[in-house]
Amino acid sequence: MLGRVPAKATITLLGAAGEVTGSCTLLQTPRGRVVIDFGLFQGSVADERRNLVVPDIGWSTIDAVVVTHAHVDHCGRIGMLPRLGCDAPVLCTKITADLLPRVLKSSANLQAIRVEEWKEGTAPIARVVDPPPPPSTQPQRGDVEPPVMYTGRDVDRVLHQVHGIAYDTWHEVRPGLRIRLHDASHIIGSASVEVAWDEDGGVTRRVLFSGDLGPHQGPLLRARPALPEVDVVVMESTNGLRDVPRNTAAAEALGEVLKRVAARGGRVLVPTFSLGRAQLVQWRLAQLARMDGLHGMKVYLDTSLAIRAAEMHGRNPDVLAPEPQRMARAGEDPLEFSALFKVFNRRSSLKIAAGTSPGVILAGSGFLDAGPVLHHLASLVSEDRNAIIFAGHQLPNSLGHGILHGARLIELKEGVLEVKAERVHLEGYSGHADRGDLLQWLESREGGSPRVLLNHGEQASREGLASMIREKLSLTVELPTKLMPITV
């Protein structure tokens, strides 16, 4: 039964079982019940409608909801808690607690806008025209009404439940049940969640939920701490089959693109996600600025969430990698530089899009499917002096994926446009641990031989990572099925 305190502890994946969105896991222990993450399913409208189908786990009797980080695939359904009758504390790091109001309000706002657009038939157009993509891959937006999971009012209510807690400190949820957050170094404020509970006979059991993990040591955030000694690890497997290059070549490649685009008087568009990816690119641009490597170009940061997230870095030196930390402690914001301009409203954004002087524009969304990136794209895509930099993975069937893979004609609100801008794919800006990082994290644990349950990865990634863990580390690995409780 999912809605009762059991005699033996169980873990149940309610989402992100064999896929990479909709993270949500229920831990039931004899001492109380905790939900880890409550994220959005993302992708097609059909995927998004799954957000409305929430398993009945007796939400009104949950003791705590813990949010690992502020990406919407982990926190985006927190706004539904009031409608589910759940008034439990929502626990997360203090940095995540600072980011959540903005993330949830913008999610509620987006849901309302999309329904309005659907009713009026004004949904953004962002598609490849030539070469014509197979009809089955075309988004069917317009056929199905986009779902509304919650409103701004729901968000206001749930924000009263949010409590930021310190890293590395035990927090009692109920007598005999406690949690501790460890830095996951994935985005600022991200955490892995350790849950411990007391059982009869003086036995303490411990489970650790990885959340999304960052690389072992990235350029901007501090190194991940070692995995503590626990009985069970519930671990993400997003990059379970991939090795991500992290050498300095990626940084140098960005400088090279700026140099050649500046020489031909063009502009650079970097479609980006607001949390994580945007800060990694901004850090690299800040480094280039300090080495006089922007070639006279201004940099426009056109996402308010990214502006906020960048500020959090300067204010939290403890969670930064050595170089940015040294700067922050010396009173210098590591992500600031004089050529950086922050764009706070649509009017300024449109004005920048209408300009022609050389510059670099960071704008969302990262998949080029909505948001301010679309009017920047319309303004610069058809001139060969410009460039579009894809700093990471593109969702298949997205416009970003199509352009990166050679689309010649695209359609936007402004009409059908020829793609003449240079297309650049830069690796090395991922905030996710790759296969080697994931293995290293398990291998360098503080002790014990934990059972490993894999979630948050496509099925092939889960299977590939499971084989590697069994082979190299001789640990027991399981791939839980959604909604099937596993006794731990």
Closer residue to Zn ion (CB): 71 or 284: 71
Closer residue to Zn ion (CB): 391 or 421: 391
Tokens, residue 8: 């033996």
Total of residues contacting Zn ion (CB under 5 A): 2
Closer residue to Zn ion (CB): 97 or 196: 97
**Minimum separation from the CB atom of position 189 to Zn ion (A):** 11
| Residue window 63-82: x/- pattern of binding to Zn ion, with contact defined by CB under 5 A | --------x-----------
**Minimum separation from the CB atom of position 186 to Zn ion (A):** 6
Closer residue to Zn ion (CB): 236 or 369: 236
| Residue window 157-196: x/- pattern of binding to Zn ion, with contact defined by CB under 5 A | ----------------------------------------
Closer residue to Zn ion (CB): 29 or 107: 107
Closer residue to Zn ion (CB): 71 or 393: 71
Closer residue to Zn ion (CB): 237 or 349: 237
**Minimum separation from the CB atom of position 239 to Zn ion (A):** 12
Closer residue to Zn ion (CB): 98 or 422: 98
**Minimum separation from the CB atom of position 355 to Zn ion (A):** 33
**Minimum separation from the CB atom of position 365 to Zn ion (A):** 15
Restricted to residues 203-242, the positions that interact with Zn ion (CB under 5 A) are 212
Q: Assess 19 for contact with Zn ion (CB under 5 A).
A: no
| Residue among 58, 69, 14 at smallest CA distance from 33 | 58
**Minimum separation from the CB atom of position 416 to Zn ion (A):** 35
**Minimum separation from the CB atom of position 465 to Zn ion (A):** 17
Closer residue to Zn ion (CB): 71 or 445: 71
Closer residue to Zn ion (CB): 31 or 71: 71
**Minimum separation from the CB atom of position 40 to Zn ion (A):** 12
Q: Report the 10 Å Cβ neighbour count for 87.
A: 15
- C-alpha 174 chain-centroid distance: 30
**Minimum separation from the CB atom of position 441 to Zn ion (A):** 15
**Minimum separation from the CB atom of position 71 to Zn ion (A):** 4
Q: Which residues of this protein are in contact with Zn ion, per CB under 5 A?
A: 71, 212
